[in-house]
């Protein structure tokens, strides 16, 4: 029978991260008639782009339909690692695969360096991550993968089932891959730091402003927004898992928008926290519909997340499913109460790689499709497009890749449900 999560008396359905951080919001100002660059979406991608553009002296406005920074960028698990949704061997099998991989490593290190660059703290904790094999077939693949990591000089180790037990005190996995480089962050502190940096260098950030249309003009673009029209020379669309399929249909056909959910427990006894995660690592399993978990930066709570369904669902239903999954892996947590539960939107792509570039026909610049692993790459892509738009010669190996559309209409509910079943079957087979 499905478990129902016990709740703390002060339980709320809102991100745990928001308890510790107020995302700074600028007071509404009249929209300027014209601006050099308009950025649609005020998450890591849009904020990093705006920061680069404004510090180079160009006018930039960031428009978000919600509060600035309130999307996935302040709701995520704060697990930062090189690579992306694809594993190292899949990266290396691509044209320019080594370049792509090295760019993800640079993106990862770039996040670590932001603390000094911006003079902010966001609980950067370099503790490594473990990918936990949910199927013997995956564990065998991880053994080979560990050798591939070594061949490129990246520190990683295959863990057999008994090593895994030493890492997470659970016997549910068939093996694991430990990657030492990875880190944890406090995602909302990171978002707040980017808001402050962009604002300090002159970017205008406006929440509660929905972009309803982007029309090309003989020179530049006209944006129709919920607060009036705006002319600009360049547009960056940075809406990732919240991409409106009608705003720029070409982009809308290329991302599959799905929910990812998390719970945060009440503070637990230090010995209990240690029994779950003795080394403070970031964990995720290897399923397509995966679970991911870690300790809060203060080491006192278990933060457990996952894609509970491809179809639309609720925070309440996801909370109970996640609680059941957490207790299955760590039975000693049964009875620990949940204090916060929340969800956010991620963007999957057909090739499971993220994409950055300029659309050939419309000239619109975009960066999105992080497939749920976007903390490092969203900030990196945002900075890359920001520098492009300031005429600085910044390259991304990802920009050379073509971007296939999702091969079926991604918004049709029964097709999404069907894809969810397909993922479950693949997970059962270890594919
Ligand atoms: C629960 C959860 C856990 C995650 N965990 C991890 C993790 O541990 N590690 C990791 O690497 N990644 C993780 N991710 C993914 C990561 O958070 C994202 O890849 C990253 O934040 C994407 O940033 P973004 O700026 O592109 O998008 P977002 O932060 O989602 O920002 C997009 C913004 O666009 C706005 N918008 C959309 N349409 C319009 C419009 N028409 N007009 C105006 N504004 C608009 C939205 O309101 C939103 O604020 C997680 C995501 C979620 C939801």
Is the pLDDT confidence value at 409 over 90? no
Given the structure tokens 């997470």, which residue do they identify? 168
Q: What percentage of the chain exceeds 90 in pLDDT?
A: 89
- The closest alpha carbon to 332, from 307, 291, 302, 305, belongs to 302
Given the structure tokens 């129709």, which residue do they identify? 224
pTM above 0.85, yes or no: yes
Kindly state if the Cβ of 244 falls inside 6 Å of ligand 1: yes
Kindly state if the Cβ of 346 falls inside 6 Å of ligand 1: yes
Kindly state if the Cβ of 84 falls inside 6 Å of ligand 1: no
Q: What percentage of the chain exceeds 70 in pLDDT?
A: 99
Q: Can you tell me the distance from the alpha carbon of 298 to that of 20, in angstroms, rounded to the nearest whole number?
A: 12
Q: Can you tell me the distance from the alpha carbon of 341 to that of 349, in angstroms, rounded to the nearest whole number?
A: 26
Place 93 in a pLDDT band, splitting at 50, 70 and 90. Answer: very high
How far apart are the CA of 359 and the centre of ligand 1, in A? 21
> Can you spell out the DSSP letters for 229-250?
EEEEEEEEE--GGG--TTTSHH
Place 206 in a pLDDT band, splitting at 50, 70 and 90. Answer: very high
How far apart are the CA of 239 and the centre of ligand 1, in A? 7
Q: Can you tell me the distance from the alpha carbon of 317 to that of 50, in angstroms, rounded to the nearest whole number?
A: 37
Place 289 in a pLDDT band, splitting at 50, 70 and 90. Answer: confident
What are the tens digits of pLDDT across the range 34-87?
A: 999 999 999 999 999 999 999 999 999 999 999 999 999 999 999 999 999 999
> Can you spell out the DSSP letters for 324-338?
HHHHHH-GGGTTPPE
Is the pLDDT confidence value at 410 over 70? no
> Which residue of 240, 373, 376, 398 sits with most ligand 1 atoms within 8 Å of its CB, as the best mutation to test the pocket?
240
How far apart are the CA of 43 and the centre of ligand 1, in A? 6
Distances (CA, A) of 343 to 257, 290, 305, 381, 385: 13, 15, 9, 24, 28
Q: Whose CA is nearest to atom 19 of ligand 1?
A: 374
How far apart are the CA of 379 and the centre of ligand 1, in A? 11
Instruction: Write out the CATH class of domain 27-128+181-257+352-429.
Output: alpha beta
What are the tens digits of pLDDT across the range 162-203?
A: 999 999 988 899 999 999 999 999 999 999 999 999 999 999
- Strand 355-358 relative to strand 338-348, pairing: unpaired
């Amino acid at each position: 029978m499905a478990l129902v999560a016990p709740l703390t008396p002060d339980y709320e359905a809102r991100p745990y991260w928001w308890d510790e951080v107020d995302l700074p919001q600028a007071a509404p100002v009249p929209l300027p008639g014209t601006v050099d660059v308009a950025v649609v979406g005020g998450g890591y991608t849009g904020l990093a782009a705006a920061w680069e553009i404004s510090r180079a002296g160009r006018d930039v406005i960031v428009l978000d339909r919600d509060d600035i920074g309130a999307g996935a960028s302040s709701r995520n698990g704060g697990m930062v690692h090189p690579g992306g949704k694809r594993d190292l061997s899949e990266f290396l099998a691509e044209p320019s695969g080594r370049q792509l991989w090295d760019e993800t490593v640079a993106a990862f290190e770039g996040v670590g360096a932001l603390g000094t660059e911006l003079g902010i703290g966001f609980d950067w904790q370099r503790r490594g991550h473990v990918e936990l094999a949910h199927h013997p077939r995956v564990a065998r693949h991880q053994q080979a993968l560990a050798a591939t990591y070594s061949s490129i000089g990246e520190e990683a180790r295959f863990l057999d089932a008994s090593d895994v037990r030493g890492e997470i005190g659970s016997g549910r996995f068939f093996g694991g891959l430990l990657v030492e480089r990875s880190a944890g962050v406090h995602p909302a502190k990171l978002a707040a730091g980017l808001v402050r940096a962009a604002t300090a260098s002159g970017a205008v950030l406006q929440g509660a402003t929905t972009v309803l249309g982007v029309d090309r003009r003989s020179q530049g673009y006209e944006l129709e927004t919920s607060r009036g029209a705006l002319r600009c020379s360049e547009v960056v669309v940075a809406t990732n898992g919240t991409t409106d399929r009608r705003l720029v249909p070409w982009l809308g056909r290329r991302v599959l928008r799905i929910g990812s959910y998390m719970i945060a427990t009440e503070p637990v006894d230090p010995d209990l926290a240690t029994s779950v995660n003795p080394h403070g690592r970031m964990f995720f399993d290897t399923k397509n519909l995966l679970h991911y978990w870690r300790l809060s930066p203060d080491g006192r709570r278990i933060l457990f997340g996952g894609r509970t369904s491809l179809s639309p669902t609720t925070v309440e239903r996801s909370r109970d499913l996640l609680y059941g999954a957490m207790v299955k892996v760590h039975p000693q947590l049964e009875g620990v109460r949940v204090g916060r539960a929340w969800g956010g939107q991620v963007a999957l792509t057909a090739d499971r790689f993220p994409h950055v570039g300029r659309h050939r026909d419309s000239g619109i610049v975009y960066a999105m499709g992080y497939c749920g692993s976007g903390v490092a790459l969203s900030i990196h892509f945002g900075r890359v497009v920001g520098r492009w738009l300031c005429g600085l010669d910044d390259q991304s190996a990802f920009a050379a890749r073509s971007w296939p559309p999702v091969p079926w209409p991604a918004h049709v509910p029964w097709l999404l449900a069907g894809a969810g079943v397909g993922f479950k079957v693949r997970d059962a087979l270890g594919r």
